[in-house]
Structure 1
Amino acid sequence: MDLHFKIQDWLKARKNHLCHRQLVIISGPENWAEKLSQEIITIAEIPENKLLWVGDRLDSSLNVDCLTYRQHLGTEYDALVYNVYTGLSASALIAFSGTIMAGGVMILICPDFTRWPDYPDPLASKRSSYGCNQNAEQSYFTRRLISLIQNDLDTIVITPERINGHNVFVPQEDIGRKLNSSTPEQQTIITSILSMSDSHKDRPIVITADRGRGKSSALGLAAKELIEKRSKQIIITAPNKKNVEQVFAFAQSSSVAQGDTNTNLAFVAPDALLAEPHEADLLFIDEAAAIPASILKALLNKFSSVVMSSTVHGYEGAGRGFELRFKPYLEKNKKGWKAFTLTMPIRWYKNDCLEAFWFRCFMMEDITSFSTDKHITTITEAVLPIHPDSIIANIESNKVIEISRAQLVDDPILLHQTFSLLVNAHYQTSPDDLVRLLDAPEQRLFTYTLHSKVVGVALIIEEGGDNLSKLSTAITLGDRRVNGHMVAQNLALHTANQKFCCIKQWRIVRIAVDKPQRRNKIGSALLNAISESAKTKSVELLTSSFGASENLLNFWTQNKFSPLKLGFKRDAASDEVSLIVGRALSVNGSTSVSKVRDQFTKELHYHISRYHRMTNTALLSKLLIQCKCESITVDEQRRVACFLSSKNPFDTFSQVLAKYLLMKLSSIETISDIPIGTDLLVASLLQFKPTETLVTEFKLSGKKALNKHIRLALIDL
């Protein structure tokens, strides 16, 4: 039968039956594929306002750029066409798939499968570091994507020669369920919110859900009942007013007017909510994962009845950070808080095949769904043989090995184990990171195996060297900033030393260890293996950059990494300042690191009372023992001794006491040797925290007690 008639039969079946949303692949020459896509849209009678065309489109300007996907979240379409010839963005694919209505189709226009892995993706340069040509070799991500498409009967594949695949009909038992209506899960949440409004207990409610699960409608329906039947005053906050449009839509009543602060439901931005006095019976915080943790904590302390909700789309972005970082805070500080997860989709039917495909593609399903036997067999075959570019860090046990991108894509279990460790260890993993893992030529991957299972992984990015040296002057002067080479560029600019652009270095992006295996020196074993491998490739410097915390600083300093630069601004997701650390692997690298350490010492001493007054004091204490300081003079020793033997107020002697403190800290060998009272000394003598703050923070009875404890702490140094 002619291809045209087969396509008509497929579309006719979709029109006559209730079908799941479906992925459609049109693989072939671009012009032909675009014309066929338009023909399908025409036959299916999809109006232009219900169609979203992403990427190039023949004879029409009604199309959007794939990188504008965030602007389309919350909108709905009957069909979406994505032209991969224009460029592939993993995050855009996932986001756009969530805009398609029940029964709709997502059409991907792509090259012939035999050519696609070698197709020069226009967006490849955005995913790789400057000087690295990602299109120089085939795309392993595309190779894997093609394999998933070919093995999925629920995906329609159309080529110039044939059409494969079939429609997936919604089961009869699901057809009776009305979409966009409340589910039993939502009713449970609504009931809990209503109960909380009556109890007045400080027990926050946290709602997490993938997109399309009715999180916003649950908040809106709860608000509607609270206002109409109980006359409650509700404030809702979110990163952007657009985020809560659906909440207001579901809460519509005569007493609700969006944005009007005189009504029962009002939107107030998070910063304004803290800066100005506001009263409400309940506070709703929508998209909480995108609000800095410090603001969330302040809001929890300001309002007694709080409902937080967040989109956690698999592992994507800040939603994952909310899981990893903020829930432990609630566990410690808000006993009795309740967590709810919405799993039933309300905008499409359960077991939706479009969502299932993209979840498989980006490994959003549970890794434990794979059998143990498959784990053991596959990992043994994939990891233990030595790849030509691999290094064995421990010949006797074969535990640490470098894994190639080809190995990852050829072994799905190895890929799942590796990527799931990276996802669970970090709060800002996105679908694009999977593409980089498989395709970015400057990335390297080391794994630690135990009983043939991957329990540790380290991800490396090559920086500096020949690729960056020709731009070293412009980068150092601040005239250029290129993709990648994050630490190399940062240090060159910060130190006014273009040498950091020229040094060949590896940045350790992430180290992840399976939770049951932590504290077993696996992370250190990975670092040692990386160091040995780097030396064989003439790498002169290892670096890393991360949100500074006491535990992470302990880990890096124990592994001979020195702090090189402490940032000023807190990261919105982690609520921590960034810290760059480094470890020299050559004489040249050692000279450079030594100079930066000297600069770090001077800057930390200078900035600690200016930019770091609110930084974690215990962290600063641990950083200060990494700083070498000059001894105090005989006259200064006499002044310190005078204070220690008197009852004089400490602020009279604060300058010399601060210098004495810095000298004593620089003589401490390890973090474990820091005396207990050191944090009080750092907070008072170096951070210059106000007396009232010090008394409260260190649980003292008053200024007299503060003076006494400072004296005792100095004696213990």
Structure 2
Amino acid sequence: MSRGGFRQLKLLQTASQWQQACQARSSKSILLSQTDVHADAQLNRYRDYLGHEFESVFLDCHNGINADAICALCGTVIGGGQLIIYLPHEPSAMRERLHYFANKYFPQNQLQKRQKSTSQKEFDDAIVGLQTLQKELIDEAFSKNPIHTHIIIAERGRGKSTLLGKVLSQVSNASPNVDFVVTAPRKANAQVLLKNAPNTTFKAWDKLLEQPSKEEKWLIIDEAAGIPLWATEQLCEKFTPWLLATTVSGYEGCGRGFAIHFQDWAKQEFLRVKSHQLNTPMRWPLNDPLEQWLTDCFLMDESPVLPDPGLADGQFLEYAADMSESTLRQCFQLLLNAHYQSSPNDLNLLLSDSLHRLAYTRKNGEIIAVAWLIQEGPLAPELHTGILEGRRRPKGNLLPQAIGYFLQQPWALSARWLRVARIAVPEHERHKGNASQLLDFIAQHPKHSAIDKFGTSFAWEPGVANFWETNGFVPWRISHRLDSVSARPAAIYVKTASSDNASIHDIHQWAHAEHQWLSESKACIPDDLNQPHLAQLLVDAYLKERIPFDAAHFALAVFYKNKRPTDRLTTLLAMPTLSLKELASYLGCSSKQQANVKLRKDTAQLV
């Protein structure tokens, strides 16, 4: 197997440099840009090219650095190829970081010397290791013993997809009575696997979920971290999970947390699980400077960061761009490992957006708690009406917009909010109060004295909710819809304060009652719920087509209970599991849209 030479990097600053580079590109390259009419695809379509191979990859980032695209497509550049990035003209911490590590790993006078220092023996050993693993997987499949679920984890370019394809090809050709199925986030992501196993059936993962369970069907998943974790778990329960391979570092989907969460789950669910780690690159030489540049730029190194005893202990609030490299690495690694929805763009935000800060606790040189904080609001007055009416949804400002829109609270759009986007503690430091103490530090910090409300958003589950409630946060909104990645409802919790007025307490009571109603999944509208103003606000917003049925459902249930307590429609609306499709059937409507129209018309007569 030939890997070619070291891969190269070009960071371009001017339009003329970019045009000149693009004009010289070969047919075995790809150009992604949001604005260039000659591009092969838009930059935000980068996921479609995972699993491909190119001599050169051109990324037009001059309107903003897309860290997810850079990390994902860097792995598609073959040995001897190059990655060319057109950077923004405006300086930023992220842009300077790209340049800093480029200067470190691409010094012109050392490049040839480094190229000759590659260890052929280590590469040959890795080839033997892959062949041994391939034989092990094939032999087990042909044995009479129950198969293991094999989880294969590797950085890009390590040969995992080729391995899967070769194993699958040999086993499937010799096993005509066994049903094999391959899936991936997109069919294009399994291109290398399917090339090595051309007779294999590929099925989209969402279509597979619709099929009946069949233990006789052996499941193979490539790029598993790009599929929602809940979906991967369901697929493994429906079929026999055989080979699951994924890249974790720098992934734009579930990322490194996928490996942690999924492996823990698999070991609990299945009796026979084996994990394999592929470390040596197959598509480029060892010590490839482009891979080293990428790893350091985007903090993708999974090796533990050693504590730095030279740094002071205590609690701190800082911009990421002002941190030492050691502290930034510790904080970011904690956030990545604790949350399975992570992205390289997270680092870009932390470094470049002045509304984002990190609060952390250091003890004996080790970060034992970290929180990602985002300042939100106030929004410009000219946006308020559009947001309240559901016509505008400016990027960012999650808390004020969600409270303003879903609860129809105009004041929320003028308030100054502080949101805890994520909070994490190392496993060996959990259940010691570290996270709670950090929250107290954040709430009392002088830089937050002008903040009106302190809140958080997360995928609701009992353990996480209990943590926030223990720290004085209460639910203000629990979505009726499940998040597509976590399969849990999105929750917004806000910290109570002695200065809260009556209307704030009304929101507390309303949200608590709605949450109980949703949690118990049965008709249990509290008799003592006395929030006519809030219920009327939400019903009016539904009648004016500002908010959808699911956002108004609880308010409609309360409203009908007060207006028509014995009506059959009241009983139906009191069920939290009621869908628009079921409502349409009851109302004799042929579509969900017609059901909304009829319900609005009937409700308007009662107002």
TM-score range, shorter chain: 0.7 to 0.9
Residue of structure 2 equivalent to 1:50: 28
Equivalent pair of 2:29/2:57 in contact (CA under 8 Å): yes
Residue of structure 2 equivalent to 1:520: 432
% identical equivalent positions? 26
**Closer, same or farther in 2 for the Cα pair 1:464/1:275, shift >3 Å?**
same
**Closer, same or farther in 2 for the Cα pair 1:271/1:416, shift >3 Å?**
closer
**Closer, same or farther in 2 for the Cα pair 1:300/1:563, shift >3 Å?**
same
Residue of structure 2 equivalent to 1:24: 10
**Closer, same or farther in 2 for the Cα pair 1:56/1:594, shift >3 Å?**
closer
Equivalent pair of 2:48/2:189 in contact (CA under 8 Å): no
Larger Rg: 1
Q: Does 1:234 align with 2:219?
A: no
Residue of structure 1 equivalent to 2:315: 400
Q: Does 1:630 align with 2:528?
A: yes
Q: In 2, Cα distance between the equivalents of 1:530 and 1:289? A: 33
SS of 2:445 mapped into structure 1: helix
Equivalent pair of 1:25/1:155 in contact (CA under 8 Å): no
Residue-pair matches, total: 529
Q: Does 1:485 align with 2:380?
A: no
The one of 434, 438, 457 equivalent to 2:370 is 457
The code of the aligned residue for 1:598 comes to Q
Equivalent pair of 1:423/1:429 in contact (CA under 8 Å): yes
Q: Does 1:417 align with 2:330?
A: yes
Q: In 1, Cα distance between the equivalents of 2:293 and 2:431? A: 37
Query: In the TM superposition, what is the alpha-carbon distance from 1:173 to its structure 2 partner?
Result: 5.1
Equivalent pair of 2:55/2:80 in contact (CA under 8 Å): yes
Equivalent pair of 1:535/1:585 in contact (CA under 8 Å): no
Listed as ranges, the matches of 1:109-258 within 5 Å are: 109-110=86-87, 119-120=89-90, 139-152=92-105, 154-156=106-108, 166-167=111-112, 168-169=114-115, 171=117, 174=120, 184-185=129-130, 187-192=132-137, 194-196=139-141, 198-199=143-144, 201=146, 203-231=148-176, 232-252=178-198, 256=199
The code of the aligned residue for 1:404 comes to Y
Q: Which string of whole-angstrom CA distances, capped at 9 and with x for unpartnered residues, describes residues 123-143 of structure 1? A: xxxxxxxxxxxxxxx522223
Q: Which string of whole-angstrom CA distances, capped at 9 and with x for unpartnered residues, describes residues 169-198 of structure 1? A: 25575399699x965235415523541453
Equivalent pair of 1:243/1:287 in contact (CA under 8 Å): yes
Q: Which string of whole-angstrom CA distances, capped at 9 and with x for unpartnered residues, describes residues 11-37 of structure 1? A: xxxxxx95211113445x432x23553
Query: In the TM superposition, what is the alpha-carbon distance from 1:585 to its structure 2 partner?
Result: 4.0
* TM-score normalised by the chain length of structure 2: 0.78
Q: In 2, Cα distance between the equivalents of 1:315 and 1:578? A: 22
Q: Structure 1: 5+ residue runs without aligned partners?
A: 1-16, 111-115, 121-137, 157-163, 257-264, 385-398, 614-619, 632-684, 690-717
SS of 2:472 mapped into structure 1: coil
Q: Which string of whole-angstrom CA distances, capped at 9 and with x for unpartnered residues, describes residues 587-625 of structure 1? A: 2x554532222322443355456xx57xxxxxx9xxx9x
Equivalent pair of 1:57/1:63 in contact (CA under 8 Å): no
Residue of structure 2 equivalent to 1:273: 208
**Closer, same or farther in 2 for the Cα pair 1:70/1:276, shift >3 Å?**
closer
Q: Which string of whole-angstrom CA distances, capped at 9 and with x for unpartnered residues, describes residues 468-503 of structure 1? A: 444222111101001111121111111111111112
The one of 194, 200, 223 equivalent to 1:287 is 223
SS of 1:340 mapped into structure 2: strand
The code of the aligned residue for 1:559 comes to N
Equivalent pair of 1:310/1:319 in contact (CA under 8 Å): no
Query: In the TM superposition, what is the alpha-carbon distance from 1:415 to its structure 2 partner?
Result: 1.2
Q: In 1, Cα distance between the equivalents of 2:4 and 2:577? A: 68
Residue of structure 2 equivalent to 1:671: none
The code of the aligned residue for 2:98 comes to L
Q: Does 1:93 align with 2:70?
A: yes
Equivalent pair of 1:56/1:63 in contact (CA under 8 Å): no
Residue of structure 1 equivalent to 2:585: none
Q: In 1, Cα distance between the equivalents of 2:577 and 2:161? A: 45
**Closer, same or farther in 2 for the Cα pair 1:366/1:291, shift >3 Å?**
closer
**Closer, same or farther in 2 for the Cα pair 1:101/1:595, shift >3 Å?**
same
Residue of structure 1 equivalent to 2:451: 539
**Closer, same or farther in 2 for the Cα pair 1:79/1:170, shift >3 Å?**
farther
Q: In 2, Cα distance between the equivalents of 1:193 and 1:578? A: 43
Residue of structure 2 equivalent to 1:37: 21
Q: Does 1:580 align with 2:492?
A: yes
**Closer, same or farther in 2 for the Cα pair 1:276/1:415, shift >3 Å?**
closer
Q: Does 1:553 align with 2:465?
A: yes
Q: Does 1:437 align with 2:437?
A: no
Q: In 1, Cα distance between the equivalents of 2:277 and 2:167? A: 16
Moved more, 296-305 or 341-350: 296-305
The code of the aligned residue for 2:161 comes to S
SS of 1:599 mapped into structure 2: helix
Q: Structure 2: 5+ residue runs without aligned partners?
A: 530-573, 579-607
Q: In 1, Cα distance between the equivalents of 2:116 and 2:480? A: 54
Q: In 1, Cα distance between the equivalents of 2:35 and 2:265? A: 49
Q: Which string of whole-angstrom CA distances, capped at 9 and with x for unpartnered residues, describes residues 650-693 of structure 1? A: xxxxxxxxxxxxxxxxxxxxxxxxxxxxxxxxxxx99899xxxx
Q: In 2, Cα distance between the equivalents of 1:285 and 1:53? A: 28
Q: Does 1:72 align with 2:44?
A: no
Equivalent pair of 1:584/1:593 in contact (CA under 8 Å): no
